[in-house]
């Protein structure tokens, strides 16, 4: 990679990074994301400093970070941070990088409920993104979050501590390690990718993100099949389950829950790209 003078301006450094990333067929927006993260500036502050020299220590760290992204590592793991629903979360390879589609799932729940007090369970919490976003928006809600991965829970707990949010965490395979209680709302963005899809997946996802959080048996449907058979026992009367799934799985997942819970109202919702992406199961 071509290097700039010893101390380029903020603008020159970002332009260099964008060129390197584009040449390597990596997302060019990582150049600004990493520069903002390393300098601790916001967008407006960055513009104000654009023509000033980038401090030497940050320039060295920035070059090293860009080289890692050029090699295929996701920028969020390089920085150790990822945005989600207005929050700044710690992330590492123990957890999936939060996606913008999942923000739409949070939106759906918040739109459905304005109640001052609800009990909510987030299954497969990963970085804690969903639970922490809900707790931030609804401080009176009682949030519980679980994950099968102890390493993921460490990340989620760190995020809760940084944000000073009172979410309760459990290590659990679905409901196996949870207290015998019921919840008004259960939400999950579980593993849903079939192993047969690896050929069409991005290399940086396969190489860096945790496979336990990506893949599920039965063509990616295993967790939904288990939830369809067990979730009713853990929902309060008129409780609701909210799920995210792969964009081609909507009709199949909907059918699973309609067959398992014939008295429930099962609703599909599309994401902003027009794909079936979310499901709500409302008990009578």
**Is position 147 annotated in a ligand binding site?**
yes
pLDDT at res. 29: 95
Q: What pLDDT does 21 receive?
A: 96
Taking the alpha carbons of 256, 211, 233, 284 in that order, is the dihedral positive or negative?
Answer: negative
d(CA 159, CA 37) in angstroms, rounded, equals 17
Identify the architecture of domain 10-79 in CATH. Answer: Orthogonal Bundle (1.10)
**Tokens standing for residue 79:** 């920085």
pLDDT per position as a tens digit, 55-112: 999 999 999 999 999 999 999 999 999 999 999 999 999 999 999 999 999 999 999 9
Q: What is the CATH number of domain 82-282?
A: 3.40.50.150
In this predicted structure, what is the pLDDT of residue 115? 83
CA distances from 177 to 61, 123, 169, 219 (A): 42, 11, 11, 26
Is 262 labeled as ligand-binding? no
The pLDDT value recorded for residue 114 is: 87
Residues 143, 135 contacting (CB under 8 angstroms)? yes
Residue 212 structure tokens: 């336990």
127 assigned binding-site residue: yes
Q: Is 191 marked as a binding-site residue? A: yes
Q: Is 10 marked as binding a ligand? A: no
- In terms of DSSP H, where are the helices of the chain? 10-23, 30-39, 43-49, 56-70, 75-79, 100-112, 129-137, 150-163, 203-208, 217-220, 222-230, 250-260
Cα separation, 216 vs 151, in Å, equals 19
229-241 tens-digit pLDDT = 999 999 999 999 9
User: pLDDT, tens digit, for every residue of 104-157?
Assistant: 999 999 999 988 899 999 999 999 999 999 999 999 999 999 999 999 999 999
Residue 278, helix vs strand vs coil: strand
Q: What is the pLDDT of residues 23-66, one digit of tens each?
A: 999 999 999 999 999 999 999 999 999 999 999 999 999 999 99
Is 128 labelled a binding residue? yes
Q: Do domains 10-79 and 82-282 have the same CATH topology?
A: no
Q: Are 155 and 98 in contact (CB under 8 A)?
A: no
pLDDT of 200 higher than 60: no
Residues 215 and 191: their CA atoms lie apart, in Å, by 5
Is 124 part of any known ligand binding site? yes
Provide the token pair at 63.
């070059």
**Cα–Cα distance measured from residue 271 to residue 279, given in angstroms and rounded to the nearest whole number:** 11
192 known member of a binding site: yes
Is 116 known to sit in a ligand binding site?
no
Cα distance between residue 77 and residue 44, in whole Å:
24
Full-model pTM: 0.92
| Residue 246 labeled ligand binder | no
Domain boundaries defined on the chain: 10-79, 82-282
For residue 41, the number of C-alpha atoms closer than 13 Å in the C-beta half-sphere is 17
């Amino acid at each position: 990679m071509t290097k700039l003078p010893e101390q380029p301006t903020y603008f020159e450094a970002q332009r260099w990074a964008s060129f390197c990333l584009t040449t390597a067929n990596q997302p060019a927006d990582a150049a600004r994301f990493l520069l903002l993260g390393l300098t601790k500036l916001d967008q407006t502050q960055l513009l104000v400093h654009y023509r000033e020299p980038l401090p030497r220590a940050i320039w060295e760290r920035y070059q090293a970070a860009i080289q890692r992204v050029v090699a295929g590592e996701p920028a969020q793991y390089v920085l150790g941070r990822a945005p989600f629903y207005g929050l700044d979360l710690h992330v590492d390879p123990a957890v999936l990088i939060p996606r913008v589609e999942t923000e739409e799932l949070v939106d759906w729940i918040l739109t459905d409920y304005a109640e001052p007090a609800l009990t909510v369970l987030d299954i497969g919490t990963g970085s804690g993104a969903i639970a922490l976003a809900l707790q931030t928006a609804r401080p009176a809600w009682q949030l519980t979050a679980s994950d099968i991965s102890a390493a993921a829970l460490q990340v989620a707990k760190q995020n809760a501590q940084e944000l000073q949010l009172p979410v309760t965490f459990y290590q659990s395979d679905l409901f196996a390690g949870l207290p015998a209680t019921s919840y008004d709302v259960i939400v999950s963005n579980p593993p849903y990718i079939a192993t047969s899809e690896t050929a069409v997946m991005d290399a940086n996802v396969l190489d860096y993100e945790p496979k336990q959080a990506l893949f599920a048996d039965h063509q990616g449907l295993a967790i939904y099949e288990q939830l369809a058979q067990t979730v009713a026992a853990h929902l309060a009367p008129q409780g609701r389950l909210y799920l995210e799934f792969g964009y081609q799985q909507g009709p199949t997942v909907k059918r699973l829950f309609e067959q398992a819970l014939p008295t429930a109202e099962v609703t599909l919702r599309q994401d902003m790209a027009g794909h079936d992406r979310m499901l709500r199961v409302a008990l009578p």
